[in-house]
Structure 1
Amino acid sequence: MTELSTKPIAVRPRCDGRHLRFEMVDDGRRVACAISVMALEDLSGTRCYRPADQLKSFALAREQIEAIALNKINMKAQDASGLLTIWSNDVDDLLSNAG
């Protein structure tokens, strides 16, 4: 029997024009999330003009996006609701802490 992963994952990425929306699944809980196009470009190092480019950049930076989102989820109040958004400054924070 295979063991199920309990690592939080980002699922259902889709573009809305200004953000790439996705859901984080953490311990059975779903959290609606989004990453700004600018933050996505900061992580990937490439421009994301078309939705296909945004989805490709999301796939390449998925682990970093998941780490940022999980950090923001853990800092957020349990009863807080609404869209959790990753902005460019969140990426800057991740990169400065890594270096």
Structure 2
Amino acid sequence: MGGEWFEIARPSYLPMEMRWERAAADGLPADVSHAFGIFDMTLCGIQEDDMSPSDCWWLPERENACGACREAALVIDERWPQAMRGEEARVSVARRPGAR
């Protein structure tokens, strides 16, 4: 920041198949692919203390993808405004005089 202008940065839009990693934890079944969300939790709400994102993308179109994770991912994706999905989707805001 500084100067007369600054940019409010937003994370850029990513398609669902590039947004989440597959969740990895000892307590998760190996035959179902869950999306890693935040706070040691999958998008569908499973929480494990040792959960972490794996090195693999979570792919919602795969047959073994968790249906509840897919539903949550769709809800999240639908909330992202269409106008804010481009690479140039940033907002420049004028600095107000006297603002620090």
Normalised by the length of structure 1, the TM-score is 0.31
- For CA contacts below 8 A with separation 6 or more, give which structure has more relative contact order: 2
Q: Hey, which of these two has a bigger chunk of helix by percent?
A: 1
Structure (1 or 2) with the larger CA radius of gyration: 2
Name the one with the larger strand percent.
1
